[in-house]
Amino acid sequence: MCLDSTTVALLSIKSLSVNFGGLKALDDVHLTVEKNSVTSVIGPNGAGKTTLFNVISGLVKPDSGSLSLHEKEIKWPAAHQLAGLKIARTLQGVGLFSGLTVLENVMIGRDHHRKSNVLKDALGLSEKDERELKDRAMDALAWAGALSLADKPISQLTYPDSKRVALARALAQEPELLLLDEPAAGLGQSEIDSLGELINGLKRRCAIILVEHHVDFVGEISDSVYVLNFGKVISSGSFDDVKRDPAVVAAYLGTTTQSTLGGSHA
C-alpha cells in the first residue's frame, strides 16, 4: 500500500538507547511524531525526558537506535547543525542574552557559540538580508504574542514575557519540529491558558514535542502522550488512555506522594 504524504511521520525514533555509565537513561524507546501535532512526553523525575530531547537536538549521542525525519534517517547532528534540520528548542532555563533587546535576541537565534559571529555578520548583511532577518524575527514575535516587547531590553522582561521571547527565538528558525522543555513551568494559570492557545495555533506551523510537569495542561493540548519511566516507554496513546493505564498509575504511585497522574511529578 502506498502511504500518502499526510501519513508520513515527521519524526520517527526506533529502539533508542542511551547509557550513562551503568545507568540506562533511555532504554529501547520508540516514538513517532506526526506533522502539525502536539506530542507530550511525561514521566517521573529521572525518567529520561531531558535526555530524549538532548538526543533529538544533537546534544547527546545515543548508544543505539535510529532517528528519521520525513522517513529519512539522520545522523546524530551537532547542535549547531540543527537549524539546517529545522528542529528548534527552547531551553528549560530561558537563556536569553541580557545585554541585547528582545528583537536582537530573536534575530540572533539560539546558538550561543555563534553570537559574536552573527553580530559581526549582521553588520555585513545587505539591507535586504537584514530586512528579511528582521521581518522573520517580527513575525516570530507576533506568533509568540510578544511583538510589543521588541525594543525592550531583556533585563526589563517579566518571567512569563521572557518565556514568550525564548519561544519567538525558536520560531524565528522556522522549525518543522519544535521542542518545548517545560514551557508552563513557573507560569500562573491564566498564562498557562494563553500558552495553551498559542501552542494550539502553532500546530498550523510545526509539530511540537512537549516535556511538561503540568499534567492538566498536557491533557488539554496533546494529540498523543508518551509516558517514560526509568528510560522506558511504559505507555503511549491519547491522554485519556495513558492516564488510565495501570502501568502509569503504578509508576506515579511508586514515585510521588500524590496518588494520581494529576500530581506534580509528571
Ligand X SMILES: Nc1ncnc2c1ncn2[C@@H]1O[C@H](COP(=O)(O)OP(=O)(O)O)[C@@H](O)[C@H]1O
Q: Which residues bind Mg ion (CB under 5 A)?
A: 49-50
| Partner in contact with 23, chosen from Mg ion, ligand X, none, beta carbon below 5 to 8 Å by kind | ligand X
Applying CB under 6 A, among 7, 8, 15, 23 the residue interacting with ligand X is 23
Binding segment toward ligand X, per CB under 6 A, in 40-48, 148-156, 187-195, 242-250: 40-48
Rounded Cα distance between 110 and 133, Å, is 14
Q: Is 236 helix (H, G, I), strand (E, B) or coil?
A: strand
Among 9, 11, 13, 25, binds ligand X (CB under 6 A): 25
Nearest residue (CB) to ligand X, 43 versus 196: 43
Among 41-49, 61-69, 78-86, 242-250, which window interacts with ligand X (CB under 6 A)? 41-49
190/188 Cα distance (integer angstroms):
6
The answer to whether residue 173 forms part of the interface with ligand X (CB under 6 A) is no
67 binds, among ligand X, Mg ion, none (CB under 5 to 8 A by kind): none
Q: Which does 250 bind (CB under 5 to 8 A by kind): Mg ion, ligand X, none?
A: none
Between 171 and 234, CB nearer to ligand X:
234
Q: Is 46 in the site for ligand X (CB under 6 A)?
A: yes
**For residue 14, what are the β-bridge partners?**
66
Angle at the Cα of 126 from the Cα atoms of 130 and 129, rounded to 5 degrees: 40
Least CB distance to ligand X at residue 123 (A)? 37
Nearer to ligand X, 52 or 108 (CB): 52
User: 109 or 231, CB closer to ligand X?
Assistant: 231
Task: Give the residue from 46, 58, 27 showing the smallest Cα distance to 177.
Answer: 58
| 65 touches ligand X by CB under 6 A | no
Q: Cell numbers of 99, please?
A: 545585554
Phi-psi category of residue 179: left, alpha or beta, with phi > 0 → left and psi -120 to 50 → alpha: beta
Residue 233 binding ligand X, by CB under 6 A:
no
Q: Which is nearer to ligand X, 45 or 117 (CB)?
A: 45
Count of residues that interact with ligand X, criterion CB under 6 A: 11
Helix segments in the chain, DSSP class H: 49-56, 82-85, 102-108, 115-124, 127-143, 159-171, 189-202, 215-221, 239-244, 246-255
Q: How far is the CB of 50 from Mg ion (least distance, A)?
A: 3
Which bin fits 70, alpha (ψ -120 to 50), beta or left (φ > 0)? left
Asked if 51 touches ligand X (CB under 6 A), the answer is yes
User: Is residue 202 within 8 Å of residue 208, measured between CB atoms?
Assistant: yes
DSSP string for residues in 88-138: EEE-SS----TTSBHHHHHHH-S-GGGHHHHHHHHHH--HHHHHHHHHHHH
Q: What angle do CA 53, 88, 239 make, to 5 degrees?
A: 55
Selection from ligand X, Mg ion, none that 48 binds (CB < 5 to 8 A by kind) is ligand X
Q: Tell me which of 10, 29, 31, 48 binds ligand X, using CB under 6 A.
A: 48
Note the residues at the interface with ligand X (CB under 6 A): 20, 23, 25, 43, 45-51
